[in-house]
Amino acid sequence: MSRRIHLALHPYGVGGPGQHGLWKDPRVAKNASIDIGYYIQQAQAAEHALFDALFVVDSQFINATYPAHYLNRLEPLTLLSAVATHTKHIGLVGTASSTYNSPFNLARRFGSLDHISGGRAGWNVVTSFDTGTSRNFGLEEHLDYDTRYGRALEFVQVARGLWDSYEDDAFPADVESGRFLDPERLHALEHHGEHFDVAGPLNLSRSPQGQPVIFQAGVSEEGRNLAAQVAEGIYAPGGTLESAQEYYRDIKRRTAAAGRDPDHIKIFIHGGPVVAATDEAAQRRDEEIHEEDDDFERNLGLLGRSFGAHDFSVHDLDAPFPDVAHLAERGGRTGAARIIERARAENLTLRQVAQGLNGYKRSPFVGAPVTVADRIEEWFRAGTFDGINLAFRTNEELELFVDGVVPILQERGLFRTEYEADTLRGNLGLPIPENSNTVRRRAESDQDSSETQGLEAAS
C-alpha cells in the first residue's frame, strides 16, 4: 500500500475526562501524572513499537470537580523536553493555547524543543476550552469564538514567520574570516496585525525538519476552517464509522479548497483499544472499565466544563435540563450545543444528561488481537483516518496492543517495520517547508535577472 497507518500515544496518567476511576487501579502509580519516569517509559515503549508521536494534552484552569489527571500534571513543553533526551525517533506533540500565550515566547519554546529533539516537535494549537482560564491571566472574561480563532490563525502565521528568521545558510561560522553570521540571511519579521505586533527576529535557527508540525483539534466551523488553513495534523473526534468518514472527507475538502495538498494534513481519530486473548474477554473488560469510571458526581462536574465550569449541582437534578446555553458562548459552544439539542429533543432531566455524558459506548477496537486489527483495517480502508491517537489505561494494556495488534498490521503492510526518518515530518510523510525568506529572495533575484536580460535585449 502507498498509504500506511500512523499511530500516536496519548498517556492518561491517573485519568482524564471519562476515566474517573483510573487512579484507583493498583497498577497505576498515584503520582503518574507528575512522574517524568512514567512519561519516559510510555514514550520508549511507543518508540519501540515504531509509533509516530507522543501526544500531551493540557489546560490551565481547574476546580475540585476536574478529572484526577487535570488536578496535578506537568507542563507539556517541560515534560517533552525531558522525554526528548531519552528517545531518538518518536515525535513529541504538546498542547499550548494561542489565547493565553505570546507568539514570540511560544515560538521560541517550541523551536527549542525542536532542536533538543533533533526535529521531532509538534504543536497542538488550541484556543482554550475552559472559560475560567481568563481569570488566571488577568482577564475578566474568556474571548469570544470569532476573536479566539482569528487570533489563533494570526498566532500560527506569526510563529511560522519567526521560525524562518534565519535562512538555512545563515551561519557560515568561518574562523579564518571571523564571520560567524551572514547578516543578509537574518530577517526581522516586523509583523503588524489585528491581534499582534511582533518585530522579531527569533534568536533561534531552524531545526532539521524546518519547523515544528502544527496540529489542531477542532470540530466547530471555526475549528475546521482553521485546520484547513494551517494544520498538518488533526486530532479528530472519531465516533461512528460514518461520522468519522464525514469528518475526514470534510477536512480534506476544505484543505484542498484552501489551496493546500490534502495529503499534507494527517487526520488522527481517538482510539481506546481493549485487547484480550478472546473477543469475549475483551468485551467483558470493556464493560468493567465503564463500571469503574461511572462516577455520577464526576460526570456532573465534567458536564460543567462545556458551560464555563458551571456548577450544575445547584440545580434540581430531576427537573428538565436548565437553560444555560448562554454560558457556552465563550467556551465549548459546539459540544454544549449538542448536549442542549439532545436534552430538548428527548425531554431529558439534568440527571439523565449527566448520566448519558459518560454512558457506555463500546469502542470499535475491542477484541482479540486479530479482531482489533481487522477493525482498524476496515476503518482505515473506509477513509476515516490517516492515524489513530491511542490511549491505554495501563502499561500492560499498551503492551497487549504492541505485542498483539501491531505485528498483524505490519504483516498486512499497514504499518511500518522501521522508521522512515529521524524527524516527525519525515515519519508522517510531510514536506519540509522552505524558508519563506529564501523563497522571497530567490523570487526577487529571478525578477532582477529577468529585468536585466530585458534591458540587454532592448539595447
Report whether 394 belongs to an annotated binding site: no
Q: Which one-letter amino acid corresponds to residue 37?
A: G
**Three cell numbers, residue 307:** 458551560
Q: Name the grid cell of 177.
A: 574570516
Handedness of CA 322, 99, 386, 121 (dihedral sign): negative
Rounded CA separation 152/221 (Å): 14
Choose among 82, 76, 80, 106: nearest CA to 91: 80
Q: Is 58 annotated as a binding residue?
A: yes
Q: Is 33 annotated as a binding residue?
A: no
Give CA–CA dist 111/438, Å, rounded: 19
CA separation (Å) from 157 to 68, 136, 336?
35, 26, 29
Residue 267, strand partner residues: 234
DSSP 437: H
Q: Is position 243 annotated in a ligand binding site?
A: no
Q: How many Cα neighbours within 13 Å face the side chain of 344?
A: 10
Query: DSSP H helical segments within 49-97, as ranges?
Result: 68-71, 76-84
Give the three-class secondary structure for 324: coil
Measured between alpha carbons, how far is 429 from 42 in angstroms, rounded to an integer? 24
Q: Which positions ≥6 away from 314 have C-beta within 8 Å?
A: none
Nearest to 398 by CA among 28, 12, 45: 45
Three cell numbers written together for 11: 498517556
Cell of 331: 467556551
Could you tell me if 271 and 389 are in contact, meaning their C-beta atoms sit under 8 angstroms apart? yes
State how far the Cα of 151 lies from the Cα of 98, in Å rounded to an integer. 7
In angstroms, rounded to a whole number, what is the distance separating the alpha carbons of residues 380 and 168?
Answer: 38
For residues 109-138, b (16+ Cβ closer than 10 Å) or e, as one string? bbbebbbbbbbbbbbbbbbbbbbbbbeeee
∠ CA(73), CA(357), CA(33), 5° rounding? Answer: 10
Q: Which three cell numbers stand for residue 274?
A: 481493549
Write out the binding residues.
58, 95, 149, 220
Write out the binding residues for FMN.
58, 95, 149, 220
